[in-house]
Amino acid sequence: MASRTKSQPIEETIIKTEFSDIMQKSYIDYAMSVIISRALPDVRDGLKPVQRRTLYDMYELGIRYDKPYRKSARIVGDTMGKYHPHGDSSIYEALVVMSQDFKKGMALVDGHGNFGSIEGDGAAAMRYTEARLQKIAQEAMLSDLDKDVVDFMPNFDETEKEPQVLPCRFPNLLVNGSEGIAVGMVTSMPPHNLSEVVNAVKAYMQNPAITTEELMKYLPGPDFPTGGIVTNKSELLNIYETGTGKIRIRGKMTVEEAKGGKKRLVITEIPYTMIGANISKFLTDVVALIDAKKTTDIVDISNQSSKEGIRIVLELKKDADVENLKNMLLKKTKLEDTFGVNMLAVAGGRPETLGLKDIIIHHVNFQKEINTRKYRTLLNKEMDKKEVQEGLIKACDVIDLIIEILRGSTDMKMAKACLMEGNTEGIRFKSRISKKMAEQLRFTERQATAILEMRLYKLIGLEIEALLKDHEQTLKNIATYKDILLNPKSMDKVIIKELEGYQKEFGRERRTAIIDADEAVFEEKKIEEMDVVVMIDRFGYARAVDPITYERNKEAADAENRFILQTLNTGRICVFTNRGQMHSVKVLDIPFGKFRDKGTPIDNISNYDSQSEYAIHIAPMNDVIMQKLMFVSKYAMMKQVYGTEFDVTKRTVAATMLSPGDELICVCPIVNQKFAVLQTKGGMFLKFMIDEVPQKKKAAVGVRGMKLAPKDELEEVYFVEEGVLTTGTYNGREIELNRLKLARRDTKGTKMRS
């Protein structure tokens, strides 16, 4: 090959390609990588790559179900170093989930230590926990790997080999379900009962033309590890035919008798979707229903769940309407929820949405494939063994001749050539008869090697008898293996026998009931509309009392509270803050009680944040929407807004736009006022007609009301009626605002002497 000199230029080849084409191809490659290599399970073993690699690594490390536990950190590190270089967190998370029997229909990992709880507690760090394989994972998913049952592929750096799929002997995809989010697609498959899945597979194998509806006689629906009740039985057929749909599940409630004729409602099973943080959310939701007076039947609530199971206890008052309360919990909380089904898995190297029968077909085909490879491997081994055994048996019959050949040979090669080809050249024999017999020997190479390696004790009579028995058993094995490989019915029997073995050893009773139930109907008690007085003190604590109580304590109420509002208990109040926000608060959320009750902070029942804003105007919404409001900021920006702008259901809306650093200092209803008086911190006063301020939308900034001196800002805003004496103060001096000279908006105003 001619070498290129330094003076020769490098030839450049410029390939012009549309940028969008490159992006499209790159994105498709990335998406398929995520779909196939990370997020979606394989229909054959029901595992994602990270799960498969973790289990295989544990098997290779010898962390078997009958061996001691090993540190999770060792498993994670070894898996990451050999097979899954995508970070330790994903591997440990997969390990944890495979050990949680409240998430999986059949746990595949036996965890020792804190592996999380059904209530959402996270697992301890991997350096503290230990794990080993569960028996079912070892026997039904990882056995026979030495029998060439599945293909192996190089790992990421081609220093190790890993299986493309595990030889799973039961439909793990159905038994354990799966959840995963890929690019543009998601899989969500519920877990099922192992015994029922086995029965469905057997039914299909006995009748391949069986329909999904007939299969569901054996596998009626999902079996969640948390129990619960599936309430849309009639919709399951369509879900299992199409592979998509929604399963409606609800928790199980029982009523227990308590002391004093009272009752308690006990939740013993929860929906599968409620595991984790949703249990605490359920408790919070129940408390919120109590606080909002949606129910008065619940006296106390406690979570008494333990390792023995779920037990959430609601103590009820004596005359509680239990059925109505049940319906309210189902309607208003996550005690009834939907599980979205999308039975998406990798089949034939590509993602595919599968029905129940499709999954079973893929499983049975996979079983036939791995059993064909297994028994072909075993048959080849038995055939090799048969060849050797036949050679040894034949050798025992002419053992004296073989010994004579060995003694007369000068090396191993000469003896082997005589045994295989009858070549007697160079070998010394005792007689011509021996030589003639040796020339007739025709052992195979494998037989000749076995004869030459045979030990003398094998010539003992009992050993020869054992050899004949082994040969007889080998012939039986060969016949059995050939029958399995050549007879489809025999193959089916082997598969069914294995499944029945797992069913007998690992099967359990169904936990989830499946029924057709009517949707829970809860009628909220109509709230009796009544007048109330809402009082908000200077610390932001709000409480409501009836008008009679207020009138009886009017003097103290007016002195102690910053805002006093007369409204209806079914209404809302509007809280305008210096940040230009309007927070809407339901009056029903404000505690109603006695005059001396402390109340609750207004920011606890709204989005109002007392740490970063404060209220400058509070009024009933019914009053606000009937008024015209004047907004004034400290930088003298002003506008008028119709109150109907604030007739919204949102808890928080922007009442006005503010420039950086500006804040609202005044929100005031305009009724009969004619003049506006603006007072700055520097002592400037400006009086002008209110009509000069235009009407704007709530999202507008407004117009400038006064030209401010540098570093000056508004301190007070007054609105004056014509003919009504109105005063203000500046540096302790009282000022009659009516006597101020009338000017125009957006002017500097008049300096007031101290």
- Per-residue model confidence as pLDDT tens digits over 214-240: 999 999 999 999 999 999 999 999 999
Q: Last residue of some domain: 471, 487, 505?
A: 505
pLDDT band at 462 (very low <50, low <70, confident <90, very high): low
Rounded to an integer, the average pLDDT of 715-741 is 88
Residue 402 sits in the same domain as residue 329: no
Q: Last residue of some domain: 130, 149, 165?
A: 165
Residue 481 sits in the same domain as residue 541: no
Residue 124's CATH number: 3.90.199.10
Please tell me which residue in 30, 92, 128, 541 is annotated as part of the active site: 128
Give me the domain span that covers residue 403.
Answer: 365-505
- Helix or strand (DSSP H, E) at 21: helix 19-34
Residue 315's CATH number: 3.30.1360.40
Secondary structure of 9-20 in HEC code, one letter for each residue = CCCCCCCCCCHH
- Per-residue model confidence as pLDDT tens digits over 682-716: 889 999 999 999 999 998 999 999 999 998 999 99
Is 100 within the bounds of a domain? Answer: yes
Lowest mean pLDDT among 29-43, 295-309, 626-640, 657-671: 29-43
Is 111 within the bounds of a domain? Answer: yes
pLDDT band at 6 (very low <50, low <70, confident <90, very high): low
- Per-residue model confidence as pLDDT tens digits over 33-86: 666 667 789 999 999 999 999 999 999 999 999 999 999 999 999 999 999 998
pTM, entire model? 0.73
Residue 500 sits in the same domain as residue 539: no
Residue 400's CATH number: 1.10.268.10
> In this predicted structure, what is the pLDDT of residue 458?
67
Percent of the chain scored above 70 by pLDDT? Answer: 95
Is 613 within the bounds of a domain? Answer: yes
Is 204 within the bounds of a domain? Answer: no
Is 402 within the bounds of a domain? Answer: yes
Say how many C-beta atoms besides its own lie within 10 A of residue 398's C-beta: 15
128 is catalytic: yes
pLDDT at 3 over 70: no
Higher pLDDT, 200 or 181: 200
DSSP designation for 510: -
Cβ pair 616, 665 in contact under 8 A: yes
In 3D, which of 187, 193, 145, 136 has the Cα closest to residue 166? 145
pLDDT at 7 over 60: no
DSSP designation for 526: P
88 burial via Cβ count (<10 Å: 0-12, 13-18, 19+): middle
Q: Last residue of some domain: 463, 489, 505?
A: 505
CA gap 650, 637 in Å, rounded: 26
Residue 565 sits in the same domain as residue 713: yes
pLDDT band at 593 (very low <50, low <70, confident <90, very high): confident
Residue 648 sits in the same domain as residue 586: yes
Residue 423 sits in the same domain as residue 562: no
Is 259 within the bounds of a domain? Answer: yes
Which residue type is seen at 671? V
Is 40 within the bounds of a domain? Answer: no
> In this predicted structure, what is the pLDDT of residue 365?
96
The residue length of the chain stands at 754
Residue 316 sits in the same domain as residue 378: no
Rounded to an integer, the average pLDDT of 530-543 is 90
The number of folded domains in the chain is 4
Percent of the chain scored above 90 by pLDDT? Answer: 59
pLDDT at 5 over 60: no
pLDDT at 27 over 70: no
Lowest mean pLDDT among 368-372, 649-653, 671-675, 744-748: 649-653
Secondary structure of 107-164 in HEC code, one letter for each residue = CCEEEECCCCCCCCCCCCCCCCCEEEECHHHHHHHCCCHHHCCCCEEECCCCCCEEEC
Residue 259 sits in the same domain as residue 372: no
Residue 586's CATH number: 2.120.10.90
Place of tokens 């069986």: 210
Residue 499 sits in the same domain as residue 636: no
Rounded to an integer, the average pLDDT of 610-624 is 89
Q: Distance between alpha carbon 449 and the CA centroid of its chain, in Å? A: 60
Residue 85 sits in the same domain as residue 150: yes
Rounded to an integer, the average pLDDT of 206-216 is 95
Residue 708 sits in the same domain as residue 603: yes
254 burial via Cβ count (<10 Å: 0-12, 13-18, 19+): exposed
Is 143 within the bounds of a domain? Answer: yes
Place of tokens 């019959």: 397
Cβ pair 55, 47 in contact under 8 A: yes
pLDDT at 1 over 60: no
Q: What are the E-state strand segments in 589-736? A: 600-601, 615-620, 628-633, 637-642, 652-654, 664-670, 675-680, 684-689, 703-704, 714-720, 727-730, 733-736
> In this predicted structure, what is the pLDDT of residue 10?
62
> In this predicted structure, what is the pLDDT of residue 525?
65
Higher pLDDT, 366 or 388: 366
Residue 546 sits in the same domain as residue 497: no
